[in-house]
Amino acid sequence: MADFTKSEAEVAHIIAKWGRFLEYQWQEMVEQGLSSYVRPTKHNGFEYECTTAGYTSSVQPVWPLTIGDTVADGSVVWTCRAYDVNATDKLSSVAWTVPAGLTAGTVVTDLLNSNQPVSGGGAVSGVVHSLVCKAVTTDGRTEEQIITVEME
């Protein structure tokens, strides 16, 4: 089953969403530098700035929910901040692989998403096509998403 279906005359806007991949999430027993940011492993609508550098605990702290409040985490002290992009890496590059039979349009990429328009001028009706989107972050992490589309 495809992620979605389009007629060959329609343009499908295939969107790879990278938000969760790009996040710096809290990790146990790691060194945190001053002014680094993390988000809890379970979202709570805030991110946390390291205001005292050190090593995190083996257990995730109970995160404060008031901006400016602090919590100790091993030898690290985190300060609650408004949810923003501080705890998010940036996309360095995005490469789409579009299979034969589909015509690719111009890719549009922002900080968290990449949009690959495709149409099915040469697609075989009923065939599911897999598009691969590979992202590289500014700190060198890579991830792939495979998104399928069936042209009618």
Q: The pTM is what?
A: 0.63
Any idea which fold 4-19+89-151 has? Immunoglobulin-like (2.60.40)
* Residue 32 pLDDT: 96
Read out DSSP for the chain?
--SEEE-TTSEEEEEEE-HHHHB-B--TT-EE-TT-EEB-SS--SEEEEEEE-EE--SS------STT-EEEETTEEEEEEESSSTTB--EEEEEEE--TT-EE---EE-SSEEEEEEE-TTPPTTPEEEEEEEEEETTS-EEEEEEEEEE-
- The domain spans of the chain are 4-19+89-151, 24-82
Mean pLDDT (10-residue bins), the chain, 152 residues? 62 77 89 95 93 98 98 98 85 86 82 78 70 87 85 69
Polymer length in residues for the chain: 152
* Residue 8 pLDDT: 60
Residue 114 one-letter amino acid: S
